[in-house]
Amino acid sequence: MSAVDRLQPIETLPGQERYVAPLDETPLREVDSIDESAPATSMWADAWRTLRKNPLFIVSAILIVFIVFVALFPSVFTKENPNYCSLENSLAGSSANHPFGFDLQGCDVYARVVYGTRTSISVGILTTIIVVFVGALIGAIAGFCGGWVDGVLSRLVDIFMAIPMLLGAIVVLQMFRSSSSIWKVVLVLALFGWVSVARIARGAVLSSKNLEFNTASTALGSTPMRNLFRHIIPNSLAPVIVIATTSLGSYIVAEATLSFLGIGLPTTTVSWGGDISKAQSILRTDPMVLFYPSVALAITVLAFIMLGDAVKDALDPKSRTE
């Protein structure tokens, strides 16, 4: 009997016959078996499983937890007042209670580095929250509605994209120098930082709105707005979270740069950028005064950049399969 004769025909319309080989000739292999008792997994569960095994994520998470703890509870690490300065201690060396010594104004460098953590972390996290909310909302509406709505919002994104964030922040802050606060710096950075998130969110929504789950939800009677906020946006958050974690470090650097230029936070606010700016005049004679806040800034930004790389590797399907 030939191989064709052993095939079992399936009842179909004339001219559409299909044949299936007998089961004993095509046994179920181990690789084809499915464990039906295994719990269902999601993209987030797979990403967390990948992150837990990534040394880059473990190191960055430990650093960020420590940095956040320092920002929340600086008094645990020092009892000194960062704003108390005495010219008698100007450029004095390190001691048991003052391990980093004193700056030109006689302020404790260690205390200012510890308390400056709160300022940088606050600016970075608050800016990221506003940027993600505004950018994801505008990008999702543009990608979901399409047509003239997408055209208008996309041109608005292009206008803000043409303005460098740091240059735009300098111009706006110079216009409103009469009032200085952390919130002013946060809002200015968010004003020019939301465009990148909006573009990413728009592309993610464009690829998600035509998938089967959206069609099924519409067939069950769900409204377009309900589909957008209940199904499409949650399924498009992965690339937004990646760019948010990566950009958080850049907002910390931007705040430090603006404070270094003297147009960011007020001089009464303890910040790494302000201390670096004050220490540049004594860089040749006492470089360590500038070294300590610079290292704290570099470690913080590096921790968030490593976290962003780890999250990107976990949430990117292509990188998980490589």
Q: 102 has which bridge partners? A: 108
Residues 6+ apart with CB under 8 A from 216: none
Q: What is the pLDDT of residue 215?
A: 75
Range of the domain at 304: 55-76+102-317
Domain membership of residue 17 (yes or no) is no
Q: What is the pLDDT of residue 7?
A: 47
Residue type, 159: I
Domain membership of residue 85 (yes or no) is no
Local mean pLDDT, 10-residue blocks, the chain (322 residues): 50 55 61 56 75 89 94 90 86 84 88 91 92 92 88 90 89 80 89 91 85 76 80 83 87 89 83 88 85 92 89 69 47
Domain membership of residue 45 (yes or no) is no
pTM: 0.80
Domain membership of residue 136 (yes or no) is yes
Q: What is the pLDDT of residue 47?
A: 78
**Buried/exposed code over 85-97 (b: 16+ C-beta within 10 A; e: otherwise):** beeebeeeeeeee
Residues 6+ apart with CB under 8 A from 80: 97, 98, 108, 110, 111
| Number of separate domains in the chain | 1
Of 277, 302, 300, nearest to 289 (Cα)?
277
Domain membership of residue 82 (yes or no) is no
